[in-house]
């Protein structure tokens, strides 16, 4: 213990004296603070939009409810009451919002939240007409990516680890200190490990400190998420330390060690993922051109033909056993029913194409995720996104939940429309609600196995390094 303290004290002094190391540490810390600020401002902006759309929805439905109390003498009052109470007007006008609320730690790893829409306005009209709209964004900004805390931890902290450790052995040799160290009673490997330990504590401590700032600015503290986040960065940093220990164990000169470390950084952070993305483009291309057509606003072939309208309604009712008595009510509001039936049938008709598109998306992501274990950087990014619910998986769940929400909306209005029932004030207490269905078990399993994969790689590297160190000579 005394030896550890002595060596750590020496390393501490050397850091204080080394302006370059102080500058690099401070710079990364400052960048980390900016990253938290950026992530936080981005999420705050999204939260504002969410509050705004929720307010719009609330006001819209409040006005419908209030219309039940007005005397409907004015045209506008009558119109509003019709929209509020008659399903024939209401089903394509009442706007609901499906919202993917940000996780309390989403600002720390923005993930796909800037690419994927996080809210949708839905009415009873065709789901696919409404599903594929995208959020406004600057493509160059999307290309550059987010400067959030996960970027700092995943891209910049390994550089810190490299900068602090690459010369731990070689520089002693190059400065002529190695013979002196060899004279000591304790082994070189032990000295090296103690010194690496110092930087491990320093860098992991800095990572946790930065993360803690991120935790503190969050709206609420979720213990499990915080625990998982810290575990993820511990595993990731441990991997880089183990990798550096391996490079040091090869006992090459400091320049070659630095070049090798920089090359590995490049390999894990840029080359491997970039190659893999291109490979995925080749092997699992996603054809979105084939489903563009499903977003088309379609209508009946002959909108003035009552018989055609009735036929469409009957076709729809064939699949709705719960609305059997609606057949006899077809004469009332026929065109409104026909249009509603047509959009539902149209969605049914295109369901297969849309499912096939989402299948392509899922297959590509699944196949690519098989390579995650081989790249701890990609693995950690995935884990961090999964912890704070900004990963692509959560958006898949969001889409699926939207489908069932839309089903709920159409049922609510269509049932009343086809059964010639009015929407009453009481019905406003049981309006359809959006529920996000997430498979928490699978998500937790993915996070756990991701962490295990990084740990196993780390221990493997560490074990090899321990053996190599004594075998290689400088």
Partner 1 sequence: MKRQVFLITGKELKGMARQNSLKILFAIIIILLGFALYAGHIAYKQQQIMVERAQKERRAEWLGQGNKHPHIAAHYGTYVFKPKTLLSLFDFGLDTYTGTSVYLEAHYPHEFMFRPAQGYGNMIRFGELSAALVLQLLLPLLIIFITFQTFTKEKKTGTLKLLVSQGVSIRSIYLGKVLAYSLIIFVIIVLFFMGLYIVGVYEKTSTMISDMGLRILLLFFVYAGYLWVFTNFSVWISLKSSSARNALLTLLIFWIATGIIIPKTSANLGETLYSLPSTKIYKEAIQNDIVNGMNPNDTREKRIARLKEHYLQQYGVDSLNQLPLNFEGIRMQEGEEYANKVYDFHDATLYKKIELQNRMGSLMGFFAPYIAVRNLSMAFAATDWYSFNDFQKKTNTYRRHLIRTMNNDMAKNSRYGEFYEYKVGKNLWKTISDFKYLVPKVTMIFKYYWMEIVSLSLWVLIMFFIIPSSSKNKLI
Judged by CB under 8 A, the chain residues 379 through 438 that form the site for partner 1 are 381-382, 385, 391-392
3-state helix, strand, coil in the chain (%, to 5): 75, 0, 25
Q: Which of 277, 421, 442, 449 binds partner 1 (CB under 8 A)?
A: 277
Is residue 360 within 8 A of residue 286, CB to CB? The reply is: yes
Q: If you write DSSP's letter for every residue of 167-212 in order, what string do you get?
A: TTTHHHHHTT-HHHHHTSSS-HHHHHHHHHHHHHHHHHHHHHHHHH
Element (H, E) at 121: strand 119-122
Any contact of residue 135 with partner 1 (CB under 8 A)? yes
Q: Which stretch binds partner 1 (CB under 8 A): 1-9, 66-74, 117-125, 461-469?
A: 117-125
Q: Which residues have a Cβ under 8 Å from the Cβ of 148 and sit 6 or more positions away?
A: 35, 36, 38, 39, 42, 107, 108, 109, 110
Closest approach, Cβ 107 to partner 1, in A, equals: 13
Which listed residue (213, 314, 345, 361) binds partner 1 by CB under 8 A?
361
If binding is defined by CB under 8 A, does position 262 make contact with partner 1?
Answer: yes
Smallest gap, in angstroms, from Cβ of residue 379 to partner 1? 10
Nearer to partner 1, 267 or 466 (CB): 267
Half-sphere exposure of 464 (CA within 13 A, CB side): 15
Of 398 and 418, which CB lies nearer to partner 1 in the complex structure? 398
**If binding is defined by CB under 8 A, does position 79 make contact with partner 1?**
no
279, 404, 445, 463: which one binds partner 1 (CB under 8 A)? 279
For partner 1, the binding residue among 85, 206, 249, 254 (CB under 8 A) is: 254
- Tell me the C-alpha distance between 402 and 393, whole Å: 14
User: Between 68 and 132, whose beta carbon lies closer to partner 1?
Assistant: 132
Q: How far is the CB of 463 from partner 1 (least distance, A)?
A: 27
Are the C-beta atoms of residues 65 and 428 closer than 8 Å to each other?
yes
**442 touches partner 1 by CB under 8 A:** no
String of contacts with partner 1 for each residue 23-52, x by CB under 8 A = -x------x--x---x--x---xx--x--x
CB of 340 to partner 1, least distance (A): 17
Q: What dihedral do alpha carbons 104, 453, 264, 13 form, nearest 10°?
A: 70
Contact string (CB under 8 A) for partner 1, positions 294-323, x = contact: -xxxxx-xxxx-------------------
Collapsing DSSP states into helix, strand and coil, what is residue 119? strand
Nearest-angstrom CA–CA distance, 375 and 432: 43
DSSP 8-state assignment for residue 284: S
Stretch that binds partner 1, among 196-204, 292-300, 329-337, 348-356 (CB under 8 A): 292-300
Q: Which residues pair with 96 in a beta bridge?
A: 122
Asked if residues 124 and 91 have their Cβ atoms less than 8 Å apart, the reply is: yes
CA dihedral 409, 411, 412, 416 (to 10 degrees): 140
Q: Point out which span in 81-89, 194-202, 268-276, 456-464 binds partner 1 (CB under 8 A).
A: 268-276
Residue 287 engages partner 1 in binding (rule: CB under 8 A) = yes
Taking CB under 8 A as the criterion, the residue among 13, 22, 74, 142 binding partner 1 is 142
Residue 30 beta carbon to partner 1: minimum distance, rounded to whole angstroms: 11
């Amino acid at each position: 213990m005394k030896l550890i303290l002595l060596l750590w004290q020496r390393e501490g002094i050397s850091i204080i004296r080394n302006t370059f190391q102080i500058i690099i540490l401070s710079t990364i810390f400052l960048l980390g603070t900016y990253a938290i600020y950026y992530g936080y401002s981005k999420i705050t902006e999204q939260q504002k939009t969410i509050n705004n759309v929720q307010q719009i929805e609330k006001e819209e439905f409040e006005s419908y409810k209030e219309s039940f109390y007005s005397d409907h003498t004015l045209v506008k009052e009558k119109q509003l009451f019709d929209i509020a109470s008659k399903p024939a007007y209401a089903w394509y006008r009442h706007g609901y919002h499906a919202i993917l609320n940000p996780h309390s730690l989403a600002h720390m790893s923005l993930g796909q939240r800037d690419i994927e829409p996080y809210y949708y306005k839905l009415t009873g009209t065709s789901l696919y007409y409404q599903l594929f709209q995208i959020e406004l964004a600057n493509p160059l900004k999307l290309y550059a990516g987010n400067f959030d805390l996960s970027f700092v931890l995943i891209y910049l902290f390994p550089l810190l680890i490299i900068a602090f450790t690459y010369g731990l052995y070689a520089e002693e040799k190059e400065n002529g200190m190695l013979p002196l160290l060899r004279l000591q009673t304790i082994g070189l490997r032990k000295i090296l490990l103690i010194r690496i330990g110092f930087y491990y504590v320093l860098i992991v401590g800095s990572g946790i400190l930065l993360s803690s700032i991120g935790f503190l600015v969050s709206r609420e503290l979720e213990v499990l998420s915080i625990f998982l986040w810290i575990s993820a960065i511990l595993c990731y940093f441990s991997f880089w330390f183990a990798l550096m220990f391996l490079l040091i164990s090869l006992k090459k000169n400091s320049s070659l060690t630095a070049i090798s470390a920089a090359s590995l950084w490049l390999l894990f952070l840029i080359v491997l993922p970039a190659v893999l993305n291109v490979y995925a483009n080749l092997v699992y291309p996603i054809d979105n051109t084939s489903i563009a057509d499903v977003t088309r606003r379609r209508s009946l072939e002959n909108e003035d033909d009552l018989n055609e309208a009735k036929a469409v309604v009957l076709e729809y009712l064939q699949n709705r056993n719960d609305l059997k008595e609606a057949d006899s009510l077809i004469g009332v509001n026929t065109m409104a029913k026909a249009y509603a039936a047509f959009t539902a049938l149209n969605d049914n008709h295109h369901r297969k194409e849309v499912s096939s598109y989402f299948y392509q998306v899922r297959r590509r992501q699944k196949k690519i995720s098989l390579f995650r274990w081989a790249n701890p950087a990609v693995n950690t990014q995935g884990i961090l996104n999964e912890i704070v619910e900004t990963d692509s998986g959560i958006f898949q769940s969001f889409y699926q939940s939207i489908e069932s929400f839309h089903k709920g909306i159409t049922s609510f209005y269509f049932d009343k429309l086809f059964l010639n029932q009015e929407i009453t004030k009481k019905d406003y207490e049981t309006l359809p609600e959006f529920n996000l269905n997430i498979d928490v078990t699978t998500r937790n399993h993915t996070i756990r196995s991701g962490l295990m994969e990084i740990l196993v790689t780390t221990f493997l590297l560490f074990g090899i390094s321990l053996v190599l160190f004594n075998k290689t000579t400088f």
